[in-house]
Amino acid sequence: MQRRQILKALGLSAFASSLSGASSQASSTAASGWQNWSKSLPASKAPVESPQTTADLIRLIQTTQGAVRPVGSGHSWTPLVPADGDGKIVRLDAFNGVRSVDKSTQTAWLGAGARLKDLSPALAEQGLAFRNLGDIDVQSLAGATSTATHGTGQNLPCLAAEIKGLKLITAAGEEMEFSASSNADLLPAAQVALGTLGVLTEIQMQLVPRHKLHRRVQFLPYAQVLEEAPSLWQKHRNFEFFYIPFSGTAMVITHDETEAPASPRASDESDDGVMQLKALRDYLGWFPFLRKRLLGAAIANAPEENIIGESWQLLASARNVHFNEMEYHLPPDVALDVLQEVRHWIERERADVFFPFECRMTAGDSAWLSPFNAGPRISVAVHTHAPDAYDFLFSKIEPIFQRAGGRPHWGKLNSLTGAQARALYPKFDDFARLRQQLDPEHRFLNPYLRELFGVSA
Ligand SMILES: Cc1cc2nc3c(=O)[nH]c(=O)nc-3n(C[C@H](O)[C@H](O)[C@H](O)COP(=O)(O)OP(=O)(O)OC[C@H]3O[C@@H](n4cnc5c(N)ncnc54)[C@H](O)[C@@H]3O)c2cc1C
């Protein structure tokens, strides 16, 4: 159902006309310079260069005076990409496509700058697929793996954990491979490296046979979802939920493998749903009882999904309404209590929040800087509409996550210092030593990364 129809059904026709204005404001473009997707970072003055060949890339690294910072699709909120001084941002769009496939091991060498959304159909032609994907698939392969991008599933690791080999160009302009046959012991260091060991050109991924999934989206009482969450993670290949603030209701999404024939999917209206929540926030934020009643009515009318399709076509969705996000990966035994604490604080103090909170689970891995290093984690994410203030995420929400032993998503809002990272990651110092060895002049560091690795300007 279209958002205007839902609002009209609720007797809120007056609000429907306000929605298109809100959408266009959220997607306005920056005046100049590179900026991240949500435009939370100031426009960068550094030029963006797009080498076409490995020789071009080596020349660029050798001749740039300041920092060289690789960029993928710019979907991170943390200031990982901006290059200061005489630095350059380097875009690897020309390093794309499926380079080679080994069907016997279900692995493929892929261009590091390729977008996940372009790789999935190309891999499907080879009878292969990524084991899992996050909420979107517009990221580059290198960008997604470098920050440990994840989806959800008790037995499904983050994308970086699927890396079997990679090739990068070091600060000295040399090609280096990390794989079972070269520098094997250092592969777990290079899997999640924030673009600080070198510029990735190719990545070998472990894949799985192409498969279909049965996707189910339901709205259930939040208390019931909290109670059943551990068993739902066990029961379903992929299980996640979004708590809709001020509603007492959660949207539950499950995916399970199936051989049944594919069914058509209605057009993706997830953004419409978010904008309905915004309209209720805008007009009824200070009338919590009425807001909850109308939310209940809107949710009762919301379409539930029950469809079958190719894994890569169902796992990721479009996100056209821009937002800012903080996500921490928490020890599983405390994560749901943390979510409750966050919910209570926001519903008590922040009537302006309307984006649902997301809760997912990811299997453990051995990458040195993976937040899932040494065991599974449950992730809790809080979002705010891009035009809205989000300082409370740092002052009020992040301390709750940190007290519980959470590790932040490397690409999402956080204020983690080098000292805190060292305490959270047993191999942090080993990684810092390797980084120093490969990049002794700190050519791949910007101010944010210098602070993280304790390097003075
Ligand atoms: C709308 C939205 C939805 C999202 N959903 C999810 C989700 O479901 N799950 C999740 O975990 N995250 C999610 N994210 C976060 C996102 O996946 C990560 O921030 C990811 O790093 C973005 O990939 P990118 O290609 O845009 O990389 P960028 O943000 O451009 O770069 C990220 C890092 O990768 C490095 N890098 C990029 N290319 C190279 C290269 N060739 N060589 C070496 N280093 C490189 C950069 O230097 C930087 O350190 C989401 C973000 C947005 C905006």
For the segment 402-433, what is each residue's pLDDT rounded down to a tens digit?
999 999 999 999 999 999 999 999 999 999 99
Alpha carbon separation from 291 to 18, 300, 347, 352, 353 (Å, rounded):
18, 14, 12, 12, 12
Q: 49 - beta bridge partners?
A: 90
| E-assigned strand segments in 135-207 | 163-169, 175-178, 199-206
Cα separation of 441 and 451, whole Å? 15
List pocket residues of ligand 1, CB cut-off 6 Å.
37, 69-76, 80-81, 92, 112-113, 134-136, 139-140, 142-144, 146-147, 149-150, 194-195, 199-200, 319, 409, 411
What domains can you pick out in the chain, each with its CATH number?
98-209 (3.30.465.10), 212-408 (3.40.462.10)
Which two structure tokens, joined as six digits, stand for 254? 């499950």
Query: Does residue 457 carry a pLDDT above 90?
Result: no
Q: For residue 134, which atom of ligand 1 is closest to its CA?
A: 8
Asked if residue 78 lies in contact with residue 409, where contact means CB atoms within 8 angstroms, the answer is no
Q: What is the spatial distance between Cα 191 and Cα 319, in angstroms, rounded to a whole number?
A: 26
Atom of ligand 1 nearest to the CA of 81: 47
Question: Which residue, chain included where needed, has tokens 């091991």?
Answer: 105
The model's pTM:
0.91
pLDDT at 89 over 90: yes
Helix intervals (H) in 285-358: 288-301, 311-315, 332-349
Task: Please name the amino acid found at residue 33.
Answer: G
**Res. 11: pLDDT tops 60:** no
Percent of residues in the chain assigned helix, strand, coil, to nearest 5 = 35, 25, 40
What integer is the mean pLDDT of 177-181? 98
At residue 233, does pLDDT exceed 50?
Answer: yes
pLDDT at 24 over 60: no
CB 4 within 8 Å of CB 12 = no
Q: What letter represents residue 410's amino acid?
A: W
Binned at pLDDT 50, 70 and 90, residue 15 comes out as: very low
